[in-house]
Amino acid sequence: MHRSYHFNKSRQMVEPGIRLRALPKEGEFIPPLETLKRQKNIKKMHRFLSILVAMLMVFPLFSQIKGIPAKAERAVPLNPASLEKVAPIRPGVPLAESLFSGGRQFKPIGNLPKPIKGAPSLQAYISPETGTPYLIRGTFAMAAGKDLQDNVEAYLEAARPVLQMDSPTSEFIFYKKETEATGNFQHLFLRQQYKGVRVYGAEARLHIKDGEIYLFNGRFFPTPAIENVEPTISKEEAGALVLADMATFTKVKELSPMEQQLIASEQVEAELVVYHFNKNKNSGRLAWQVTAVPNVTHRYAYFVDAKTGEILRSYSELCQLAHHLNSRHEVRHSSDFPIKDKIAEDCSTKTADCGLLPAGKAGKTVDLLDGPATAFADDLFGISRLLNTYQINNNFFLIDASRTMFNLAQSNLPDSPVGVIWTINALNTSPEDNNFQTAHLATSDNIWNDPLSVSAHYNGGVAYEYFKNTFGRESINGQGGKIISIINVVESGGDQMDNAFWNGEAMWYGNGNVAFDAPLAKAPDVAGHEMSHGVVQSTANLEYFGESGALNESFADVFGAMIDRDDWTIGEDVANSNIFPTGALRDMADPHNGGNGFNDNGYQPAHYSERFSGSQDNGGVHINSGIPNKAFQLFADAVGKDKAELVYYRALTKYLFRSAQFVDCRIAVVQAATDLYGSNEVVAAQNAFAAVGIGAGAPTDSQTDVSANPGDDYILMTDVGFDQLYIFRPDGSSVFNPLSTVSPLSRPSITDDGSAAVYIAEDNTMQVIFIDWQTGQTEQQTLQPEPIWRNVAVSKDGSHLSALTTDNDNLIWIYDFTLQTWQTFELYNPTTGSGQTTGNVEFADIMQWDFTGEWVMYDALNRINAGIEYWDINFVNVWDNDAGDFAGGAVSQLFSGLPDGVSVANPTFSKNSDYIVAFDYLDEFNNDFLLLATNIETGDVATVFENSDLSWPSYSTDDSRIVFEANDNNGDPVLAFAPLADDKISPEGNATVFIGDGRRGLWFADGERTLVDAGEVTENAGIEIFPNPVSDGLTLKWAPLERGRTTIEIFDLLGKKVQSDEFEIREGSAEKTIDLSGLPPGNYFARLRAGERMAAFKVLKL
């Protein structure tokens, strides 16, 4: 009787169950169980050691465990044409069209998340650069009796295995919390510190809804390896070094009190940080982060080694509208630091950015008539605009105090207003020069005849209203801070400035020169762009460098385009069409913008594969912004601009952070769409980013299931010594004990109806076992006698084989029983860019056919170089059902990326859903073995079981359980059952022991099902055969068919055609009797073809 045992909460077996015993030979006694186990274990150990000695110095841990034998030495290479033909298994029935219209397609589902041991509901996505997670998904219930701080610490401790921190609860500082009025959302803001020193660019966000933490995202580093965090260089010395360096390429001047008002900081500020150059986890150094303003036209970030005084990196933080590739660029090198670069702007060129504010003056006595006023005036488009002005005594100023943010009590009017929109005149002077001056824009009669000042002031109000009315944001900083626009700014020396910029405190507008043929204050999208930089600065504060800087520019374009929302172009109202072929500075719908490459004005990449990888333009902040720009345009076109802008604002303010990369933006946008809307918007976001090469596409509607096999359930297995094969029922009762005494080298593969099992024997020949479930008889034959094989798999309908040889090469061999020919396919790893491939596949191991019989799923060992090896899972397209011939061999990955040190192998399809795959997961760094399962269409991954060895899974016929290998509490090997939830990938309840000493369990059934479309003719679609069993005459009767030729073919169990009849049918119901008297008794298959219709039947001849 079957005994079932459960796993305890630690996921280990409680006690052993029944164990396999080989049937004794005649006159041989059955040894005691412990003796039998020792004999098997000794034999297994001998075989394992012989393999291990040959492989230990070659293959990594996973390879050693899988036990791939040594490569064969062969004088003459194998040739498909020279091999003997394979003995037929059975005819290709049911031969029908694929269940999937147009054929099945397997697409990568993105990077494999790293399961967190001990917290199976959490999955981490690991950054290759830092080895730390940039995203952890999964719900974590917060304890009701604990406060928020305690729950955050509990979460960090649960995630500790992947955080790479010695003490995450002390290294992460919880510094801000945002609670939303609706939706029960909370967002916690964390930053990393080390021994009290901030780790630069290391931030994280923790997101809570309804008492559960549902998301953790950010960028941070493993615990730094810096013993002493006391600087040798003082803050003042670091500042002096920076000022001296800036003096070599730009003008450094002492800022006047009025200039000091227009910068967002002191002229020089310094903070001690741990700085990681190029975000390399091993490059952490104690440094001074110095923010320096040599003059109001420039703002630089510097990193100075706090021990040596070496300048590690510097770059401009000035957010310009346009970039120019003729800016000054220097690269510095150091003997003790691999690469250091310095990026600076030359203020002597016409592309420099300059600006300043007027000096504060004493307040004036307020007249009773003083206060907000309005006027109408024409802007640069010649359109009459409503202006909000302010009257003080008998003068009117371009100060908009009509907004709710205005604070009269704190204002010192007109020179120091608070909470206003303020437009100022730079009087065609340059902040670089000593003669820089500013003035109020004022009239005595509230009549405004200068279209330039009208446009600047009006556009500032439009931008304010957009953020206020759309997002409820009160001004740039969200707290009612004043909005300052400065016009008539020129270059040092007096040339007109050909740009606009945000310097951290104000918007500065030039009047155009070469690239722009109109004042930049004319364009509402330019004003929106510059103001949006301030919004970015006040929220995610995206670093103005690399991908983070490109996102900074992109969000400024996004909101600029939404302010001027009638098109997808930026700066089209001011750009010089002689410089920009399309007449626009940028085009979000077509980032190439009339250009063909980076040397063409206005050109941007439209896809990640086209990205700029140089150091100019702060690592391409204005160049690569075209990639996320295109993603937004696609998303907005799909869901509408009204929804898209809300999603992006939420992504920026809730989910992004200073060091965010493009993939973080995708995560943020998808999550924001999830928070605000439904699946349609989420799918649109996923597809938009996938279209530009950022992550995988959204799930497709291909989750098509087939009905379960209606036959009885069985499990085919071997023993721990790989001596024999057995078949047991899931209740533990034996059916064939043993099924075969020909020892297996590979795990068997079986046809969908359980009638033929193929495997490789210990002598490397290909074997087949035929099982007649009606008579209970079995017959074993050598399918292919040459001793060259390592593994074999049979398609579900028995029409094809896939095989691997002992050459241990990157070839997979496919045999078609109809064509009776072999075809080899070279395995490769597809890359994510430009369709290129990398040929680093060493060899495949486990194979399984999909439902359609067109694709083979396999795992393979890959070698990047002598020191990096890993296993992954792929699909190769080997057969074309429509053409009835071999396919082209296209390869698709299951996962587009794996965490470092992680391998996946031993894949198996679910029995009724070939978009569901279970597989083994090994983290070689931590020696973690997990049984995982994934839904290819949704991208979901779940941990089924935490194991201590490889699981070699196989789904049950109804997909409610998985049989897999494990060990019981005594450490003895067993086959076990893991129950599954309805999604077929998540565990449901505890696992139980099935049978002791079993290995390589393969679950199957002996029923028949046809994997065809609903409209395909099958045995119950109006065609009957009788009598069955039959002695002489087999009668076929069919419902109305079209007039034409009909063929009936009879095959034996070996697939040999033994009889064929062709006849003409008339329209209408008919019947035909076929004489089978000449056939010997036995089981046969009958296949009927009538025009486009077809059916297949089993026939028993008496």
Please, what's the b/e burial string for 605-629 (b: 16 or more CB within 10 A of its CB; e: otherwise)? Answer: bbbbebbbeebbbbbbbbbbbbbbb
H or E stretch at 529: helix 524-538
Please determine, for residue 1071, whether its predicted confidence score (pLDDT) is greater than 80.
Answer: no
Residues 897, 794: one domain?
yes
Same domain, 102 and 118: no
Q: Is residue 931 part of a domain?
A: yes
The verdict on 166 and 102 lying in the same domain is: no
Tell me, what's the pLDDT at 106?
Answer: 74
Whether residue 880 is contained in a domain is answered as yes
In this structure, are 815 and 866 located in the same domain? yes
Question: Tens digit of pLDDT for each residue in 189-229?
Answer: 999 999 999 999 999 999 999 999 999 999 999 999 999 99
Helices (H), 564-699: 616-620, 626-639, 641-650, 662-676, 679-691
Percent of all residues in the chain with a pLDDT value above 70, rounded to a whole number: 82
Q: Which of 203, 317, 530, 645 is catalytic?
A: 530
Domain of 969, CATH number, reads 2.120.10.30
- Position 326 scores a pLDDT of 34
In a domain, 498, yes or no: no
- Tokens linked to 476: 């740039």
CATH number at residue 1087: 2.60.40.10
| Distance from C-alpha of 230 to C-alpha of 831, rounded to nearest angstrom | 45
Question: Cα(766)–Cα(789) distance, rounded to whole angstroms?
Answer: 7
Decide: 289 and 239 in contact? Cβ < 8 Å. Answer: no
pLDDT at 10 over 50: no
* Shared domain check, 973 and 908: yes
Distance from chain centroid for Cα 1044: 53
Per the model's pLDDT, the better-predicted residue between 632 and 898 turns out to be 632
| Closest of 892, 1085, 737 to residue 24, by C-alpha | 737
In this structure, are 929 and 952 located in the same domain? yes
Q: How confident is the model at residue 1003 (pLDDT cuts 50, 70, 90)?
A: very high
Looking at 97-181, list the stretches that DSSP marks H as alpha helix, in order from N- to C-terminal side.
148-158, 160-163, 168-171
pLDDT for res 339: 23
The whole-number pLDDT of residue 65 equals: 61
User: Out of 30-34, 391-395, 460-464, 745-749, which region has the weakest mean confidence (pLDDT)?
Assistant: 30-34
Integer Cα distance of 118 and 141 in angstroms: 14
Mean pLDDT, the chain, rounded, equals: 84
State whether residue 131 is helix, strand or coil: coil
In a domain, 120, yes or no: yes
Confidence of residue 574 (pLDDT cuts 50, 70, 90): very high
Is residue 733 in some structural domain?
yes
pLDDT of residue 1009: 75
Q: Is 310 a catalytic residue?
A: no
Is residue 1047 located within the same domain as residue 985?
no
Considering the candidates 432, 622, 800, 869, report the single residue annotated as catalytic. 622
With CA atoms as reference, report the closest residue to 874 among 899, 833, 843, 900. 843
Strand 1023-1026 relative to strand 1057-1065: parallel, antiparallel, unpaired?
unpaired
725 and 779 fall within a common domain: yes
Question: pLDDT by residue (tens digit) across 872-928?
Answer: 999 999 998 878 899 999 999 999 888 888 999 999 999 999 899 999 999 988 889
> Which residues have a Cβ under 8 Å from the Cβ of 1001 and sit 6 or more positions away?
715, 716, 717, 952, 954, 963, 964, 965, 975, 994
CB 483 within 8 A of CB 502: no
Directed axis angle between helix 641-650 and helix 546-563, to 10°?
140
Q: Are strands 483-489 and 421-429 parallel, antiparallel or unpaired?
A: parallel
Q: Is 821 helix (H, G, I), strand (E, B) or coil?
A: strand
CA Rg value for the chain? 36
- Burial class (CB within 10 angstroms; exposed 0-12, middle 13-18, buried 19+) of 638: middle
* 826 and 842 both lie in a single domain: yes
Domain boundary among 343, 367, 388: 343
Closest CA to 115 of 137, 139, 142, 141: 137
Which of 343, 372, 390 is where one domain is finished?
343
Q: How far lies 978's CA from each of 6, 956, 964, 971, in Å?
A: 10, 10, 8, 18
Q: Are residues 93 and 144 in the same domain?
A: no
Nearest to 95 by CA among 828, 1011, 752, 979: 1011
Find the mean pLDDT for residues 707-718: 94
400 contact partners, CB below 8 Å, separation of at least 6: 372, 387, 388, 389, 390, 420, 421, 422, 457, 460, 461
275-325 pLDDT, tens per residue?
Answer: 999 888 999 999 999 999 998 888 999 999 999 999 999 999 988 888 753
Closest to 800 (Cα-Cα) out of 781, 782, 786, 814: 814
Domain that holds residue 306: 235-343
Higher-scoring residue by pLDDT: 260, 622: 622
On whether residue 771 sits in a domain, the answer given is yes
Q: Is residue 130 part of a domain?
A: yes
Chain segment 423-452, per-residue pLDDT in tens: 999 999 998 888 888 899 999 999 999 999
Where are any strands of DSSP class E within 867-1016?
868-877, 879-880, 885-886, 891-893, 902-909, 916-923, 928-935, 941-947, 954-955, 961-967, 973-979, 992-996, 998-1005
Same domain, residue pair 897 and 826: yes
The single residue listed with the structure tokens 């104690």 is: 286
* The model's pTM: 0.77
Residues 6+ apart with CB under 8 A from 164: 130, 131, 132, 221, 222, 223
DSSP 3-state helix, strand, coil percentages of the chain (rounded to 5)?
15, 35, 45
Provide the number of structural domains found in the chain. 4
How does residue 1010 score in pLDDT terms, banded at 50, 70 and 90? low
The dihedral built from the CA positions of residue 259, 260, 261 and 265, taken in this order, carries a sign that is: positive
Alpha helices in 12-147 (DSSP H): 33-55, 61-66
How far does CA 909 lie from the centroid of its chain?
22
User: In the structure, what pLDDT confidence band is assigned to residue 596 with cuts at 50, 70 and 90?
Assistant: very high
Residues 734 and 775 reside in one and the same domain: yes
Residue 689 half-sphere exposure, CB side, CA atoms within 13 Å?
Answer: 22
Active site residue 533: no
